[in-house]
Structure 1
Amino acid sequence: MIRLQKFLADSGICSRRKAEEHILAGDVLVNNKIVTELGLKVDEKRDKVYFKNKPVKIEQKKVYIMLNKPEGCVTTSKEQFDRKTVFDYINIKERVVPVGRLDYDTSGLLILTNDGDLTYKLTHPKHSIKKVYIAKVYGIPNKEKLERFKNGLIIDDYKTAPASIQILEKDNKYSTLRITITEGKNRQVRKMCDAIGHKVISLKRIEIDKISIGNLKIGEYRYLTNEEISYLKKICEKIIK
């Protein structure tokens, strides 16, 4: 017996937290009855679960892929404005969900999987996982601005956690920065750069902890290696279930 939200996550429908939202919204039926309360446990073999009137089964084969997300696509399965989604760039039979998100105009490393436990733990707000970005910005941050960035900034009424920032290249108008954060707030890197007066021109995520985009081309994907999968599971071991 497992909780309904975990069942939905393990089936590749969505993340566990998103599943909770769908349950509360009445999108899930168990044995032909709408469930709107959290906490219900289901039997994987005996109970019949439907999501938006479509039957749901847990994927037996766990898959883990890495996509080099292009700019100009959204990290969702459905798009109301008919824009491209990350799922237009992958061709696998299993249903997977993104581990976290990248903004429409941000490119780079995105992990997708049907492993609900891994998704839940990697995106848990209490777990600090390093994410590395390359940002091209207007202007060149001075020492005082770099220190402010490193120590945390007030954006959207909260203070960001300490971060890392390094100038890789610079000229008269622009600079290229290597930025490392441990949070995943909405458009956080862009807002942090705005807060020190250097608007982002382009942004690419290149690493999640020790998992690197490497030489994977934009718009292409690959399966994670066994070593990469084992590493991700290892760093999640201390996360509470």
Structure 2
Amino acid sequence: MPKVPVAILGASGLVSQRMQQRLSMHPWFELVAVAGQSSGTKLSEINWHLDETRPEFIDHCDIIILDVHSKTLARELIQSGARVVFSALPSKPAEHVEMKLVDAGLHVFSNASAYRMHSDVPLVVADVNPQALRRPSSDRALHACATNCTLVPVIHPLSVLCQHHTIKKIIVRTEQALSGAGWKLLHSEEEQAKFLDQEVPGEAEKIIEEAEKILEIDSIEWDVQCKRVNEQDGHIVA
């Protein structure tokens, strides 16, 4: 079966490079285009920030990074053959770029928070609510979002509990690694000093509103605290 040609929005960030890594040998998808800030640069020349070695495919590919802010981006992605786009953009750029690509007929699956709470954009955790991707027949391309990463270990048990019990209050405590804030925080002691052992701004609110959207609940009391800690990777949730 032919692979589906896909593109990534974002080139040098940790999320984008994790996507590049996962797509480089994927059985279903073929990476054909990348758009980012470093337009005109070969993808293989971008600094690699993951601990794992850069995939051989990325080292030897001829992909030239497109300008993610270009007015012709949708046309360039379509010309590359891409039909599906995975977005690793920060929220602000994602807000300006993603919907334009959807309007041009590209299916966009986003890791950004910009459209998570829009009523017509599915917010999906595959093992919990895959039915959210089902839509009435439509000519419009699909625009869907992944949740905040910290919500995933919360929503799995919570979705089961809500099916069988009446939940009155949920208490969540998280300790979140440096990598969750991007590679710059990983490598800057000055930046780390500002954020370590501090509440992660906006994180608790995201967990609450995204969980309520997925589970279709709004009558539960929440107590959520999220702290940045001095670990390189991974989050602990209790």
TM-score (norm 2): 0.29
TM-score (norm 1): 0.29
**1 or 2 for the larger relative contact order (CA 8 Å, sep ≥6)?**
1
Structure richer in strand, relative to its length: 1
Structure showing greater Rg? 1
